[in-house]
Structure 1
Amino acid sequence: MTSQEQPHNPLHGLTLERIVSDLVDYYGWSELGRRVQIRCFNQDPSVASSLKFLRKTPWAREQVEQLYVKTQRAYEREQRGY
C-alpha cells in the first residue's frame, strides 16, 4: 500500500516508537500511565519496555494509538484557536 491509498489514516508512516515518545514528551510517564493504565507506563517506565509490551498486546497498542490520535487532534485545534 502506498501513502496515496491511506490518505485519511492519521497513523500512517508513524512508528510505534515515535508514537510512544511523542506521548511521553507531551504527557510525561505519570500522566500517560494514568490515561492508559498499563504497568509498563507506571512501574519503572521506559520506551523500550513499553514497545516490547505494546507489540505483543494488541488491546494496549490500540489504546495508545487512540490516545495519540485524540491528542494530535486536540493539539491541532489548539493551534488553530478553536
Structure 2
Amino acid sequence: MNHQPSTSSDPLHGVTLQLMLERLHDAYGWDGLARRVPINCFSSNPSIQSSLKFLRRTPWARAKVEGLYLELVSV
C-alpha cells in the first residue's frame, strides 16, 4: 500500500492570503501594488489588515492578487 503524503499541484496550496500580501508588499510596496492591481485598499491608506478584509470579501480582487503573486514567485 502506498502511504506517501498527497501533494497538490496548486501553487497556492498552503499559502495564506496574508503571506501573499506580505510578500507582494515587500516586493512592490503599496504604490507598486496599486499600479499593478488598481484597488482602493492598496492606494488609499493601505495596510495589510484593511487589504485582507477587502480581499476576503471581494473574489475578483483576490483573484487578481493571487495572479500577481503567482507571477512574482514564478520568476
Same fold at TM > 0.5: yes
Cα distance, 1:5 vs structure 2: 4.8
The offset of 1:22, in angstroms, is 0.5
Cα deviation digits, residues 12-50 of structure 1 (max 9, x gap) = 001100000100001100001100000000000000000
Q: Which residue of 2 aligns with 1:19?
A: 20
Alpha-carbon distance between aligned partners in 2 of 1:65 and 1:38, rounded to the nearest angstrom: 14
Decide which structure has greater helix share: 1
- Report % sequence identity: 51
Q: What count of residue pairs does the alignment treat as equivalent?
A: 71
Query: Which position in structure 2 is the counterpart of 1:32?
Result: 33
Structure 2: state its 5+ residue gaps. Answer: none
Gaps of 5+ in 1: 75-82
Determine the C-alpha separation between the residues in 2 that align with 1:67 and 1:46.
18
With structure 1 as the length reference, what TM-score do the two structures score?
0.83
Which structure has the higher relative contact order (CA within 8 Å, separation 6+)?
Answer: 2
Q: State the AA in 1 paired with 2:46.
A: P
Larger Rg: 2
TM-score (norm 2): 0.90
